[in-house]
Structure 1
Amino acid sequence: MTRDNKPIAKYGDPVRGSQSGQPIMVLFDLLSRRWAMGILWNLADSPRTFRDLQHRCGSASPSVLNTRLKELRSVGLIENTAAGYALTATGRELFAHLEPLGDWAMEWVPKLRPE
């Protein structure tokens, strides 16, 4: 069984890179799963249908996309609305913290030297 098929960790559960299961490590474990960040990023500006998300996450298989959507719903970051999948208030709050990190990364990457 791959890491991506594991149940979502809870506070105190060991996760990859942390036996203590600290909340930040539980969050990083969830966000590091294939397409989790892509889904959050694609829902940041508006709700999206499954088909639209599948198009935007071109290389994601339908089963992986469906699994990730279920996981993100189970932890309250996204919800299924009449307009499609959307970030919840908690999901929007998380994205508000992630967006500056994305901006920082855009400045950081060009500074990396090729080895």
Structure 2
Amino acid sequence: MTHKIPTPGRPVRGSKTGKPIMVLFDLLGRSWALGIIWHLAGAPMTFRQLQTSCEGVSPTVLNTRLKELRASDLVQHQQDGYLLTATGRELFALLQPLGGWSGNWARQLLSGDEDGGSNT
């Protein structure tokens, strides 16, 4: 099965017109796309290092995601491995605060505090 790389202006999941935000969400919603970006934020990694960091993602899936992320100018490949482009680093900077937020959200869910402690 051929997977098309999400491109602005072309239909994607959730948008027949290919609105840029929906294209980004389609790309990032694919298996391991966010994980790859998250792991590459620290330092360049070889394919094998990235596969290990991504909990043993299959080589086929990892290769497909890397091709998509490279075509989307978020990841590049150099002699020392894969790394985020300037655009990829900018995206990570926007996503990084979600890491802290998600930790708070998880603790709230696990504690059964459905309203987040507010008295509304």
TM range (shorter): 0.7 to 0.9
Distance, in Å, in 2 between the alignment partners of 1:109 and 1:68 is 27
Distance, in Å, in 1 between the alignment partners of 2:56 and 2:80 is 23
* 2:71 is aligned with 1:74: yes
Structure 2 SS opposite 1:79: strand
Distance, in Å, in 2 between the alignment partners of 1:59 and 1:51 is 9
CA offset at residue 96 of structure 1? 0.3
> Runs of at least 4 residues of structure 1 off by over 3 A?
none
Instruction: Give the letter for the 1:100 counterpart.
Output: P
1:23: which partner in 2?
20
Question: Where does the alignment leave 5 or more consecutive residues of structure 1 unmatched?
Answer: none
Instruction: Give the letter for the 2:78 counterpart.
Output: T
Aligned residues: 111
Alignment deviations for residues 46-104 of structure 1 (CA, whole Å, 9 cap, x no partner): 00000101111123100100111111111111111111100011110000000012221
Instruction: Give the letter for the 1:48 counterpart.
Output: M
CA offset at residue 105 of structure 1? 1.4
Distance, in Å, in 1 between the alignment partners of 2:95 and 2:77 is 22
Give the counterpart of 1:56 among 53, 56, 65: 53
* 2:7 is aligned with 1:10: yes
CA offset at residue 9 of structure 1? 2.1
Distance, in Å, in 1 between the alignment partners of 2:11 and 2:98 is 25
Instruction: Give the letter for the 1:88 counterpart.
Output: T
CA offset at residue 6 of structure 1? 2.1
Please identify the structure whose Cα radius of gyration is greater.
2
CA offset at residue 45 of structure 1? 0.7
Distance, in Å, in 1 between the alignment partners of 2:12 and 2:94 is 22
Distance, in Å, in 2 between the alignment partners of 1:24 and 1:109 is 26
Question: Where does the alignment leave 5 or more consecutive residues of structure 2 unmatched?
Answer: 114-120
Structure 1 SS opposite 2:96: helix
